[in-house]
Structure formats: C-alpha cells, structure tokens
Amino acid sequence: MKPDVLRGPTCLLLSSLFLLMACGGDPEAGPVPTEEPLGAQEAALCATSSVTTLSTYGVDQYQGIMSGNGEWVVDWPANSVRMEYFVDGVMRSSEERPYPSGMWFFSASGIACGSHTFVARAIPMIIDSLGNRTTCWDASQSLTLTVTEPCAAVSMSASTYHSVALASDGSVWAWGSNLFGAIGDGTTTDRAAPVKVPGIGNVTAVDVGSYHTVALKEDGTVWTWGYNSQGQLGDGTTTNHYTPAPVPGLTNIIAVAAGGSFSLAVKQDGTVWAWGDNWTGPLGDGTTTRRLSPVQTVGISGVKAVAAGTNHSVALKQDGTVWAWGRNMGGGLGDGTTTVRTTPVRSGTLTGVVAIGATYWHTMAVKQDGTLWVWGDNRFGQVGDGTTTDRYSPVQVPGLSNITDVDGGYGYCAAVKQDGTVWTWGYNNYGQLGDGTTTSRYSPGKVSSISGATAVVAGQSHTGVVKQGGSAWAWGYGSGDYLGSGTSGQSFSAVRVLNLGP
C-alpha cells in the first residue's frame, strides 16, 4: 500500500517543520482517507516516519461495553496519528490525533459476551499548517488483544463426575472429570475450571449422565458426546465421542434428559424417544433390550418435559400429571410399589405439576402452588419428611413453600425458593448440603452462604447454583475438579465457578 495525501489549494506553503512542495486540485471529500499515488517528496516523508510506541493500559468488557486506552508515539517527520479500532475484524471507530504522542481511548457497546479479538492500529500522519494530510499507511503498527467477557450462566447440570453450564449466548461450558471425553473438548484432560465446548452453539438445554452429555439446539436437533458403551449417544454405535455430534434421525425436539447410561428426548408432538442402556426398562419400550438408536417410549403422549435418574425415567405431561418407568428401587416411580416397569405408569395422583427432577432412586416434583413433593429411596432422609422411610408414593416436603426449582444427588435434595434462598437436606458426607458440616439432615435447612439463586443442580456429592446476573457457585466434593473453581478440594461453603457470569 502507498501513503495517502489529501491535497489543498493550488499552491500552499508547508509549515516550517516540512519541505516546500507544489500541490494542486480541490480538497478530497469524505472522512476516510483513500490511497492515491504520491510524489517522490511526499513518499520520502513517509519513508522516515514511524510509530515508535503503541501500548495499552488494558482493554476490558462488561455488560456488552468494551473499552480501553493506551499510548502512542510517532517519530519525525510524522506529527500526528490516525487510530483505528477493530473488534473481530470489523472497524468500530477511528480518530485523528494531531500530536506526536498521547493517549488513545476506545469504547463500543452492543458487543456480545464471550471472547473477542481487539486490534488498535496506529498510522503516522503529517499534517501541515493548513491542515493538509499525508497518511503513511505502510508505516502503521498494530497491537492485538483477546478480550473476554464471561457469558452469564442460564442453567447448570451435574453428574457424578462432571458438570456443564448453558450460557446466555447458547454456548456450553463443561468442567470436572473428562474420562471418555465427557467434557467434549476433544481431549480426556480433566478441567478444574469451565471450558467452552467447541463445535456447538445455539443450545437451549443441556443435561449430563454419568459420563456423557446431551444438548438440545434451537433447530430441534440433539447433540451428544462422551461415553457410549451402552449406545447412550444414540448414533447407532458404541464408539465414544470426544466432541459433540448430532443424533441421527431426531428432529423437532423440545426437551432432553440424560440418565446414568441412557438418554431421553421429547418431540414437539408430545412423544418420548429414548436410547442407551435398558436393563431395568428406563427406555420405556416394553423391553429390557439396549438400544443404540432412538426408539419411541410406548403408552405415553402429551409430554412436555422429561427427567432421568440412574435407571429410571420421569415425564411431565401437559395436563400436569407425572409418569415414570424403569427401576423402582425404594418406590422411585411413585406407583405404590417397588416393581420394575418397562412402560410408563402414573406417579401417584399428583396434578398441577410444573417441574420435575429425578436422580439415583428418588424423584421430585414442584406443583403450581409452590409445594414440593418427593418419593422413593429415603435411607439418608432425602425425601425430607423427617424420616428414613422409603416412600412408594409422592409425599409433600413439610416446611417448604414457594419452590421454583429442585434437583437431587446421591441421597440428598436441593431446592430454590422464590426469594432466591437455597434449601438442602439428606446425605452430607462431603458437605454437599452447604451448611458447613458433614452431618446428614432429614429435613430442609437453609444454605446461609447463598442468596439470589435462580436455579440449582446436584451431582453425586456436590451442589451448584446459578445466581441472578448469571454467576455460578458450587460446594461439596471437589477433589476431582468438580466444583469448577480452578482448584481441587472439598468446600463446605459456596465457591465461585470460574469463566461464567459477570
């Protein structure tokens, strides 16, 4: 590229700083200089002009506003600078500064969360006493920075060994044990802090099984990755995937869930489809035959949401009733028995249910009136009724009201109230109840270290929440990098999950 000169009146005298040269023509219009051939004397001026310093004090982004500043210095005969600012290759602004040195400033709004490439470009200029400009494009200098604003977490899911979060931009972030590629980053390297899962975006829901992950995209397709020994990835094979891949043949999906070694999906028409391990009937197809590709769950329709435990499945119908199938340990299906069911049965007489959850061998439901109902295995008090008696049918958890979200781990439960408080009960061997102890509790207790919660998740022995504003927090068992705080170790109170939220 060649330097550019904007020419003034027919004959002008350059300032005492510069050479005398003849010019002609009318001044060029437009704010952005354009390239044109230079005379030999003008080219000689640019040949010895340079940017000797281009530095930054920092560039940051918060709530969609990227801003930063720094310094520049140009060398004689340049006496001015043109600054241009780019975000991800697109120029966001430019300015001319009529000084040989000084500070530059940049600010732009409406920039999405995530990582961006910021470039500041300095081009030396020669401006004479009449305002005529010579822009020395070939002498420009640039500095490049990666600027990251963590995306707000929308939801989380946790399993025995790894956790995931759905971010506000539709990206998926994962951390913890990466055995069999459950993180989805193409490796088997454990991650102590969340990493962005490559190759997938526009996600609306995500759930995790023991070693695999299931994600639902805006276009209604389902993507899976991780362990596939039982066909839980749904691709017709038992080959593990270390990065996301679509489940063939599934379209128009509105909800997904991941069980221990199986997966569930709900179609827009209200049917349920399932694949993977089926030894106790969690696929609901009337058999105990493993399925490497999706099959339809029989005997149920009008479904709007699903949840999955280790070996049992739960569905919420549009009429507010709850149905379940699979292993019935401790009465986790809620049909009044402990009989394995290979097709759906109704869970008690519950009506008006708006949300469901399932874990190991107990099941949860939130009713429209904000009450919480739990049933199944109760050896650690996870039903929350003050006893350790298994419940074969749904029972209301006393003392809790205005519940908006619930989840369960191994022998315990966690719930969020409308006021943003978190309540936990059940098994507490690793501090997963968040009360600063390892004492199990048979009735709900408040987690004092958390407020402003909007969602809660429970892994085997660790708990996580999403707070208002999109930050994520976790506590409990953490020796396997499960908490996402960047370090390994157990925590009896909430610690910040990195790389998510403001």
Residue 66's CATH number: 2.60.40.10
414 and 378 belong to one structural domain: no
Same domain, 193 and 294: yes
Check residue 480 and give its pLDDT.
Answer: 65
Domain co-membership, 139 together with 288: no
Which tokens belong to 420? 């943003």
Cβ atoms 118, 144 nearer than 8 A: yes
* Burial environment of residue 222 by CB neighbours within 10 A (0 to 12, 13 to 18, 19 or more): buried
- Tokens at residue 56, please? 């930054």
Q: Which domain covers residue 69, as residue numbers?
A: 4-149
CB 395 within 8 A of CB 374: yes
Shared domain check, 176 and 92? no
Q: Cα-atom radius of gyration of the chain, to the nearest Å?
A: 30
Instruction: Tell me which DSSP letter residue 313 carries.
Output: E
Same domain for 217 and 362: yes
**What is the CA angle 471-254-332, rounded to 5?**
80
pLDDT for the residue 426: 98
Question: What pLDDT is attached to residue 500?
Answer: 94
CB 117 within 8 A of CB 133: no
Q: Which of 403, 435, 453 finishes a domain?
A: 403
d(CA 465, CA 455): 6
Scanning 171-317, the segments in alpha helix (DSSP H) are none
For residue 59, give every residue at least 6 positions away whose Cβ sits within 8 Å of its Cβ, in sequence order, or none. 66, 67, 68, 106, 118, 145, 147
pLDDT at 39 (0 to 100): 60
The answer to whether residues 163 and 245 belong to one domain is yes
Phi then psi for residue 137, to 5 deg, are -60, -40
Q: Which of 354, 369, 403 is the last residue of a domain?
A: 403
Say if residue 131 is exposed, middle or buried (CB neighbours under 10 Å; 0-12, 13-18, 19+).
exposed
The DSSP H or E segment spanning 47 is helix 40-47
Number of domain units in the chain: 3
* 396 and 424 belong to one structural domain: no
361 and 435 co-located in one domain: no
Judged on CB neighbours under 10 Å (0-12, 13-18, 19+), 186 is: middle
Using the 3D structure, point to which of 350, 368, 403 is the last residue of a domain: 403
Q: Are residues 392 and 421 in the same domain?
A: no
Residues 373 and 479 in one domain: no
Shared domain for 325 and 219, answered yes or no, is: yes
| List of residues 6+ apart from 260 with CB closer than 8 A | 209, 210, 277, 308, 309, 310, 311
Structure pTM?
Answer: 0.84
CA 176 to chain centre: 15
H or E stretch covering 359: strand 353-359
Q: Are 104 and 97 in contact (CB under 8 A)?
A: yes
Q: What is the pLDDT along the chain (502 residues), one digit of tens a residue?
A: 434 433 333 333 233 333 323 333 333 333 444 545 556 677 888 999 999 999 999 999 998 999 999 999 999 999 999 999 999 999 999 999 999 999 999 999 999 998 899 999 999 999 988 888 899 999 999 999 999 999 999 999 999 899 999 999 999 999 999 999 999 999 999 999 999 999 999 999 999 999 999 999 999 999 999 999 999 999 999 999 999 999 999 999 999 999 999 999 999 999 999 999 999 999 999 999 999 999 999 999 999 999 999 999 999 999 999 999 999 999 999 999 999 999 999 999 999 999 999 999 999 999 999 999 999 999 999 999 999 999 999 999 999 999 999 999 999 999 999 999 999 999 999 999 999 999 999 999 999 999 999 999 999 999 999 999 999 999 999 776 789 999 888 899 999 999 999 8
Indicate if 197 and 53 belong to the same structural domain.
no
Phi, psi angles (nearest 5°) of residue 40: -60, -40
